[in-house]
Amino acid sequence: MDLGQGNGTGDDIVTQLLLSRGVERDDLDRHRRPTLRDFLPDPSIFRDMDSAAIRLSDAIEQAERITIYGDYDVDGATSAALLVRLLRTMGVTAGHYIPDRLLEGYGPSGEALVRLARDGSQLIVTVDCGAMAHEALAMAAAEGVDVIVVDHHKCSSELPQATALVNPNRLDECDEAASHGHLAAVGVAFLLAIATVRELRGRGWFERVGRKAPDLMNLLDLVALGTVADVAQLRGLNRALVSQGLKIMARRENVGLSALIDASRLNRAPTCSDLGFALGPRINAGGRVGEATLGVRLLTTEDAGEAREIAAQLSHLNEERRAIEQEVQEAAEAQIAAQHNRAVMVLAGRGWHPGVIGIVAGRIKEKTGKPALVIALDAEDAGNGKGSGRSIAGVDLGAAIIAAREAGLLVAGGGHAMACGLTIEPDRVDALADWLDERLAREVGGARATQSLLLDISLSPGGLTPELVETLEAAGPFGVGWPGPRVAVGPVRLVKCDLVGADHVRMVAAGADGRSFKAIAFRAAHSEMGQALLHGSRGRQFWLAGRAKIDDWGSRPAAELHVEDAAFAD
């Protein structure tokens, strides 16, 4: 295959990939190598950004006591760590507070904010939470402490009381700022860092105190990790943040991230996929089944020994999380058949661990092709249930949950288009399921009707080479909103096909060109496709479709296929 040529258009493969993802031809150069210079907006376009930067700068100048209040997931941990590290470069030792998922739940609690104020905090910055915390922020205001909210979750028309609320998803945002609504909270925090340094530079503060302005590029490794792990859409500014952040991460200057990379057994520079499937889950494990502050502690420490210890602890917790997740997933899947007519899968169980319900919701969504809500009810029926949801493209689940809360069906709830969280009284679960079914049936039906596996390239087995994979990766980083290239390889016969692990289908496929390659279909053994591959492969030929990846386990790298779909070729 000539990697420099496309399908008769004269375009190279990378150009074709960019065009197929909606890039205008006259904008190709900017997207081919996304940089902050080309994509970064002026932070001042966001409402309250200047007010937030001024208040934070005042606190730095006056040596006030500052606490960063973060959510317990990766986006919250990276957002908090970014601001803690930023302030440290300016001689300010900021505290951090991460709520316990089980004891305190999502978002800032009024009791915690008041406690922080009485302990001496003069400014609290909430990150990845706070947009819907009306009661909690009112309690903080009554206590006399200033709160800056840095968030990206859906907002209601009535905003909570805060010194500043920076969120591209405010309903009163201008069009330019709202176009960045796909930012993760850590991306918004990075913009606040830019605005704050600019404000202090304008005041002449750095010259006055004899400090160099911080190099904000050094914080992009945190931005990349939080953006990918929060499944934010990798388009526009996010692509630039992640692309540049991966370069910073490869330098391994953050002691904690370096230890986490080692604990993940990565012997190369991390890729976008590694952030989502190796590094992110380990940090999340602390908030899900362990100690919520472990992630921020890891990402802010300068002690290599402490970093190795925390990274090892997070890896252990991640293994524990997997076992718990498997139990909850099996119990949730047992309820699917009874809801096959539902537009939204609403699955609930007593004693389910709240720390894994978001992951299970994502698995159910993938299995059913529908939005899924998984709700953990108290084993003793002594309190409210905690729920987490994941949606499909084209269905705004966060907006629906906010509407359900406003309709009185929920104690609390919020989120964004693709994910949500909620608190619900146990006896309202069925009513919520009925309400979501009525509200979202048309949206879900329309979204599912247009679902398809879009292919970028078809080739024979001989064309699946490491050089092709390298060329395809040049159009990255890939993720939600900027899908990785999918290739179709065939016709092939399966020389070998068996199970590996719990339910993965492993294959060796060969074509008429005499070339063969390895392939694997993850978590597919019990699907229709997996059964066809395992039991219908004798004497049949297939087209296999999926992602081309590098298999570097052998003496030299080889290309393999991560199969997402298959079809008989005869």
> In this model, does residue 9 exceed pLDDT 70?
no
End-of-domain residue from the set 413, 428, 449: 449
Give the chain's mean pLDDT.
93
CA distance 79 to 99: 14
**pLDDT grade for 536, boundaries at 50, 70 and 90:** confident
Quick one: angle between helices 397-406 and 429-449, nearest 10? Answer: 150
CA distance 345 to 332: 10
Per the domain annotation, does 29 fall within a domain? Answer: no
End-of-domain residue from the set 410, 427, 449: 449
pLDDT in tens, 425-460: 999 999 999 999 999 999 999 998 887 778 999 999
What pLDDT does residue 537 have?
A: 67
CA distance 465 to 469: 7
What pLDDT does residue 10 have?
A: 54
411 and 463 fall within a common domain: no
432 and 483 fall within a common domain: no
pLDDT in tens, 105-149: 778 999 999 999 999 999 999 999 999 999 999 999 999 999 999
pLDDT in tens, 314-332: 999 999 999 999 999 999 9
444 and 458 fall within a common domain: no
Provide the CATH number for the domain around residue 356.
3.10.310.30
pLDDT in tens, 47-80: 999 999 999 999 999 999 999 999 989 999 999 9
In this structure, the number of other CB atoms found within 10 A of the CB of residue 514 comes to 9
Q: Which of 168, 124, 165, 171 has the alpha carbon at shortest distance from 144?
A: 124
Answer whether 149's CB lies under 8 Å from 126's CB. yes
Q: Which residue has the higher pLDDT, 156 or 303?
A: 303
Element (H, E) at 542: strand 542-551
**pLDDT grade for 215, boundaries at 50, 70 and 90:** very high
pLDDT in tens, 17-52: 999 999 999 999 999 999 999 999 999 999 999 999
Q: List phi, psi (to 5°) of 348.
A: -140, 145
User: Rounded mean pLDDT of 464-477?
Assistant: 93
467 and 428 fall within a common domain: no
136 and 112 fall within a common domain: yes
What pLDDT does residue 102 have?
A: 73
Per the domain annotation, does 259 fall within a domain? Answer: yes
Per the domain annotation, does 327 fall within a domain? Answer: no
Q: What percent of the chain has pLDDT over 90?
A: 83
> In this model, does residue 301 exceed pLDDT 70?
yes
Provide the CATH number for the domain around residue 109.
3.90.1640.30
Domain count, the chain: 3
Per the domain annotation, does 19 fall within a domain? Answer: no
Average the pLDDT over each of 226-230, 322-326, 341-345, 378-382 and give the range with the smallest value: 378-382
Per the domain annotation, does 15 fall within a domain? Answer: no
**pLDDT grade for 8, boundaries at 50, 70 and 90:** very low
End-of-domain residue from the set 401, 433, 449: 449
pLDDT in tens, 78-108: 999 999 999 999 999 999 999 987 778 778 9
Provide the CATH number for the domain around residue 544.
2.40.50.460
HSE (side-chain half, CA atoms, 13 Å) at 267:
2
462 and 435 fall within a common domain: no
84 and 203 fall within a common domain: yes
> In this model, does residue 543 exceed pLDDT 50?
yes
Cβ contacts of 42 within 8 Å, gap of 6 or more: none
524 and 563 fall within a common domain: yes
| Global pTM value | 0.87
149 and 254 fall within a common domain: yes
483 and 365 fall within a common domain: no
Per the domain annotation, does 244 fall within a domain? Answer: yes
Per the domain annotation, does 437 fall within a domain? Answer: yes
What pLDDT does residue 554 have?
A: 65
Q: Give CA separation, 135 vs 71, 159, 201, 294, in Å.
A: 17, 11, 36, 28
Which residues span the domain enclosing 80? 36-315
CA distance 502 to 323: 12
Per the domain annotation, does 198 fall within a domain? Answer: yes
194 and 246 fall within a common domain: yes
Beta bridge partners of 566: 544
What pLDDT does residue 107 have?
A: 81
458 and 431 fall within a common domain: no
